């Protein structure tokens, strides 16, 4: 039974315990932080397993100490990834091995080395069936479960694998009569928009579509392969097999090219930029990763409180999957390429193409 202290005794005890120092640190608690994003196009999958830290003194100084955020080897007694079917039956398992990465850029945390964990997966199939597509190394219809045992604590998480998806045949690079990218109307009198179309698949939630302009920069006898890439936008799927589209504005494209590629005042007459193709990379996040991204995006509204998200049991972070598919080597329409060469935004960039009606000198 809880008894209250007499008021005088309580006041005396408070006065006796007064101090000018305030300890805001709670007792140490082991908090594991895990980040793992699987991609079925990769044969090696990397996972970060760290610990949160808190102590007396400068937190930024502590962050530069490797032991502050890495577990000693003996603390992790189980580290595996299990492949499961839709009923939770284990079909395969992959032990996690640790490795040291040497190229971490300087920042808040220790560098240039860091410890990562990884597992390898074998070739499964080529997607889409019946084509010469890219080989896949994870089964997109199964789930992959992470299981860790750290300092006697069991950590677990399960995620689905982001599926391959279908790009509209007109927009595919593999189609012989694929439509060219039109960013100027056929008469050349005004800018237009190019629409990129695809169909969502299972476990494909967030689509981020970009364009990538590839070109060779030729100065004298030197040729350097270069590229610039820009995000067009993000689309979120509502259901499986949803027809989706995004539009690329001609004005936005040409003004971005002008901002990202600068004219060179010291070039000779023969110096040039040779257009090599326009690619459309599409990166997809599954539901787990999409939710994490949504809840960690910068706040732009009045309400700035957001719930913390983690799909890991007894840890924080995210265990999800993503997928990247790129439509390669698209060509510009005749009026669009004419705009790239002679338009007000890019006329001084010296573009040409050996494949089009604008041959390189």
In the predicted model, residues of the chain with pLDDT beneath 70 are 1-28, 54-59, 62, 128-132, 173-178, 300-306, 355-357, 361
Take residue 181 and report the two structure tokens written for it: 């990218």
Take residue 352 and report the two structure tokens written for it: 């040409």
* Residues 110/39, Cβ–Cβ less than 8 Å: no
Would you state the pLDDT for residue 309? 87
Would you state the pLDDT for residue 16? 42
Would you state the pLDDT for residue 169? 85
Distance CA 21, CA 28 (A): 19
Would you state the pLDDT for residue 10? 33
User: Can you tell me whether residue 193 is helix, strand or coil?
Assistant: strand
Q: Concatenated DSSP letters for 201-235?
A: -TT--EEEEEEEEEEEEEETTEEEEEEEEEEEEEE
Would you state the pLDDT for residue 48? 96
- Domains in the chain, start-ordered, CATH in brackets? 28-160 (2.60.40), 166-286+321-352 (2.60.40)
Q: What's the predicted TM-score (pTM) here?
A: 0.85
How far is the CA of 55 from the CAs of 60, 151, 227, 327, in angstroms?
A: 11, 19, 46, 50
What is the DSSP-derived secondary structure letter of residue 349? Answer: G
* Residues 148/71, Cβ–Cβ less than 8 Å: no
Q: Which residue bears the tokens 């990769």?
A: 42
Would you state the pLDDT for residue 360? 76
Q: What is the pLDDT of residues 260-306, one digit of tens each?
A: 999 888 898 889 999 999 999 999 999 999 999 998 887 766 666 66
Instruction: Report angle CA 37, 40, 43 to the nearest 5 degrees.
Output: 90
Distance CA 9, CA 13 (A): 6
Q: Concatenated DSSP letters for 101-134?
A: E--PPSSSS--S-EEEEEEE----EEESTTS--E
Would you state the pLDDT for residue 26? 58
Would you state the pLDDT for residue 104? 77
Burial label, 118 (beta-carbon count in 10 A; 0-12, 13-18, 19+): middle
Would you state the pLDDT for residue 109? 76
* Residues 39/118, Cβ–Cβ less than 8 Å: no
Distance CA 45, CA 57 (A): 36
Would you state the pLDDT for residue 111? 73
């Amino acid at each position: 039974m809880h008894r209250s202290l007499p008021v005088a005794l309580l006041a005396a005890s408070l006065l006796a315990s007064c101090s000018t120092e305030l300890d805001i640190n709670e007792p140490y608690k082991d908090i594991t932080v895990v980040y793992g994003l699987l991609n079925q196009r990769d044969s090696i999958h990397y996972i970060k397993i760290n610990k949160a830290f808190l102590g007396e003194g400068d937190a930024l100084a502590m962050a530069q100490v490797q032991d502050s955020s890495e577990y000693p080897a003996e603390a992790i007694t189980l580290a595996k990834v299990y492949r499961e079917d839709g009923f939770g039956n284990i079909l395969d398992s992959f032990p996690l091995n640790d490795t040291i990465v040497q190229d971490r850029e300087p920042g808040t945390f220790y560098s240039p080395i860091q410890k990562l964990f990884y597992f390898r997966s074998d070739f499964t199939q080529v997607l889409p069936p019946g084509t010469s597509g890219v080989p896949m190394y994870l089964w997109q219809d199964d789930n992959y479960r992470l299981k860790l045992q750290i300092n006697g604590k069991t950590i677990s998480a399960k995620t689905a694998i982001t599926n391959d998806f279908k790009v509209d045949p007109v927009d595919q690079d593999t189609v012989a009569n694929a439509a060219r990218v039109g960013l100027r109307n056929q008469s050349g009198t005004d800018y237009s928009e190019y629409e990129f179309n695809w169909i969502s698949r299972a476990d494909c939630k967030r689509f981020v579509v970009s364009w990538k302009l590839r070109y060779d920069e030729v100065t004298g006898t030197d040729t350097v392969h270069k590229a610039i890439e820009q995000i067009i936008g993000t689309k979120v799927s509502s259901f499986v097999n949803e027809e989706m589209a995004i539009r690329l504005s001609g004005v936005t494209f040409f003004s971005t090219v002008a901002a990202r590629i600068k004219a060179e005042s010291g070039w000779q007459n023969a110096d040039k930029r040779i257009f090599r193709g326009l690619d459309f990379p599409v990166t997809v996040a599954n539901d787990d990763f999409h939710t994490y991204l949504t809840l960690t995006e910068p706040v732009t509204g009045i309400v700035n409180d957001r719930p913390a998200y983690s799909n890991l049991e007894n840890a924080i972070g995210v265990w999800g999957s993503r997928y990247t598919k790129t439509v390669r080597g698209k060509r510009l329409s005749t009026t669009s390429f004419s705009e790239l060469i002679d338009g007000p935004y890019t006329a001084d960039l010296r573009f040409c193409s050996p494949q089009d009606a604008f041959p390189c000198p």
